[in-house]
Chain A
């Protein structure tokens, strides 16, 4: 029964052929006295060959696993056999591997090893996701649509497998194929990364800087000053009586609701105070307290950390440098920074022993062009980067998140295929993909700097009692409902963007397991579940022998 998986023999021939090419190339290069490992072309060919070998082995393995088990596994196996034998899987794998192998050429122009490797990681994951998303969109909707359109499905759904299990089998096959290709991509990416690193070994300083790409870090924001909220509430009462114009504006914005207007005012004041606290004016000193919580604190005690500083000085020329004095752990370090520049100060491991670090930043002021205030508002202007895990672990988590996102796209494609023809289904799934990925842009805005719950805009439901002006109740109730729908849409769509593994890996930011779990629950559970239920419901109820749209 070895011929059962016969579609793979093409792959075996390809691998055999390319192994010969590889050997010849290596021999030629070695003969010409060139260092093999530093040769870009040779590296590219080795990567492609190695990746193809992994794909081949993986497909054989999948075929074997899926030979066991029930009807869904049989359907999954046929789906994989289809993608292999119609060359879809191989074209996709080839493009993927060629894409991965080509990236070093693209980023080569960047002379700084650290940035080169960082963009290498980013591009690798991007290419992987992009190609697999296309594969998923087309195979998911195409496989089912085609089968319904050419009536092949008539022979299948009259077997006692159950339509839902049939659908699940298709989804499973696609998910397994994606997982395999993601794993291969991860292995090739990691291999290439270390290859580049090994080749660059000569330059000690550069390699040392790359060290923190090999590890991941967790970004800690300074604690907000204590009593800020109480202070704001106190000041809001004063402000209300002192500034009647502002108060009137607040009142009309909230439709005459005094409680809401007060909260609105407090919210404005709070945001204003936060901005002031993060702004070190000329001649001032500010103290920031970083707290590393829980388990991270224990790790932080031993792991090195860095203080990231990227102040905004307004529109000054980069040659016009401002001197800041940073005091941490009893040591004062002067830093000179121009516009758009950033710096990192390493924090000794024992400084974080009790999970806390206090940093003082002084802005003595005075440069040639006058005094500038150092603005530190925003997540990446001032943060403590605590070293956490390894690149490998982070990459694995990133790939897992991508796999979950692709599994969702597969579910959408299959659900669309249950009632739409191929072109319409592909359009619809692409739309969902773009909307979900695009939703990530909103997510970034939403996620930043959450306000205390007391001040958050959703804390008070419209019907929680007194103080409401009911004269505009009907309209405002409707508007509020509409507003709520809009917000939940953004909330739902932003789930995708909340987990952006590609940026995390390329910037070395640790993806916490909590994020992976969240992604699994939200996208893998809720989103995929809802779409799958809709698809299953339609597919169970539809007349298979009627071709639609």
Chain B
């Protein structure tokens, strides 16, 4: 059907989506001539302002919408067929869940739609509830959940089938910094296990952190495509961080640098970031065992994820303990990597 390269997971050729009104008159061109290839094992960031066609594109990949023109192939098949859907995980732009089911039932229900057996369903649901930090809340109806708690269940349900291709539409929407951190950790972990992830978000720093390649849409057209490393140009500047310096010493440095012909653009005495403070407070509350009906400590990423065939990547058990947002501590087998910007760099 499509001339897909063997390694591509998603192929879009000249995809166009026109929304029509009741009388079939064209009203909105949501996606306009989009060419897109997502390779196996990469994290692909889909960016663009509101209404630029990101969600529309994603819905076409899932068969929720049909393209008006062009061709789409997902995992080598037609979008929306059972064979393809069985290997895809999807987190919609908003958490659309059955409000009267509890968290555990929700996960088990979705697991059942994938044809998993009862024991497996139960096990995966427990592990995922543990992972998203809702082990107790799992027994309350989803309609009682806060927005972010629903989002966490949404994330959990998108992983229940250990998908080859994970599509996350604004996954961090409504999540607290810990949840956000976890989404990024999950994305990293899955990429590590050979999975492909497509993610949209308006939090560009997050996208930058996780994505291998990004595409920026505007008005349904692709304006830019490339790897993050290529696209983000070197600013040609140097930043160094030290312990607090006395003013006199700073002035001396400035003079020194001026003599060398170097402009000093900015000298700062930075405060602690609110995010760091937030995490500190939350973590101390958690270690005290303070009562909460909301999300608790997020747990480990379940082992069942990525056990499937992933030829080029090891499936060594991968435990992920919580670090600060900028300091994820990744323990892989025996070796321990500490990383500032990019856990897998």
Which residue of chain A has the shortest Cβ distance to B100 in the bound complex? A85
- Tell me the bound Cα distance from A152 to B110 in angstroms: 12
Complex: A102 Cα to B300 Cα, angstroms: 59
Q: Is A82 an interface residue, CB under 8 A from the partner?
A: yes
Q: Is the CB of B97 within 8 A of A152?
A: yes
- Complex interface residues of chain A between 234 and 291 (CB less than 8 A to chain B): none
Assess the A156–B113 pair: CB atoms within 8 A. Answer: yes
User: How many residues does chain B have at the interface if contact means C-beta atoms less than 8 Å apart?
Assistant: 38
Whether A7 contacts B100 in the complex (CB less than 8 A), given A71-B113, A158-B63, A546-B19, comes out as yes
Q: Does A444 contact B (CB under 8 A)?
A: no
Contact between B96 and A150 (Cβ–Cβ < 8 Å)?
A: yes
* Complex contact A155–B97 (CB within 8 A): yes
- Mark interface residues in A82-94 (1 if CB within 8 Å of B CB, else 0): 1001100000000
A155 and B100 contact, CB distance less than 8 A = no
Q: Closest A-chain residue to B56, C-beta based?
A: A545
Q: Which residues of A contact B102 (CB under 8 A)?
A: 3, 6
Q: Quick one: which of B66, B88, B100 contacts A158, CB cutoff 8 A?
A: B88
**Which residues of the other chain, B, contact A452 by a CB distance below 8 angstroms?**
none
Inter-subunit contact B82/A152 (CB<8 Å)? no
Q: Helix, strand, loop or mixed for chain A's interface?
A: loop
Cα of A7 to Cα of B82 in the assembled complex, Å: 32
Closest to A166 in B: B113
Q: What B residues does A70 contact at CB under 8 A?
A: 112, 115
Known contacts A78-B109, A543-B66; A162 and B82 CB within 8 A of each other: yes
- Known contacts: A3-B139, A81-B100, A150-B96. The answer to whether A71 contacts B115 by CB under 8 A is yes
- Is B157 touching A155 in the complex (CB atoms < 8 A)? yes
Number of A interface residues in the complex (CB < 8 A): 33
Give the docked Cα–Cα distance between A82 and B98 (Å). 9
CB-contacts of A113-169 with B (<8 A): 150-162
Contacts of B86 on A, CB cut-off 8 Å?
A: 160
CB–CB B98/A158 < 8 A: no
Closest residue of chain A to B167, judged by CB? A158
Q: Are B100 and A82 in contact (CB under 8 A)?
A: yes
Q: Which of A4, A162, A543 contacts B65 (CB 8 A)?
A: A543
Given A6-B102, A7-B100, A85-B100, the answer on whether A158 and B85 have CB atoms closer than 8 Å is yes
A210 on the B face (CB < 8 A):
no
Q: Is the CB of A74 within 8 A of B65?
A: no
Are A151 and B65 in contact, CB atoms less than 8 angstroms apart? no
Bound form: Cα–Cα A155–B94 in Å: 10
A377 at the interface (CB under 8 A from B): no
A75's nearest neighbour on chain B, judged by CB, is B113
Measured between beta carbons, the chain B residues less than 8 angstroms from A152 are: 96-98
Q: Does B92 contact A (CB under 8 A)?
A: yes
Which residues of the other chain, A, contact B80 by a CB distance below 8 angstroms? Answer: 158
Provided the pairs A71-B113, A74-B113, A81-B101 are in contact, do residues A157 and B64 lie with their beta carbons within 8 angstroms? yes
Instruction: Say if the beta carbon of A544 comes within 8 Å of chain B.
Output: yes
Interface flags, B61-84, vs A, CB<8A=1, else 0: 011111000000000000010110
Residue of B nearest to A152 (CB): B96
Q: How far is the CB of A544 from chain B (nearest CB, A)?
A: 5
List 12 contacting pairs A-B, 8 Å CB cutoff, sorted by A: A1-B122, A7-B100, A74-B112, A150-B96, A152-B97, A158-B62, A158-B80, A158-B85, A158-B90, A159-B161, A160-B82, A544-B65
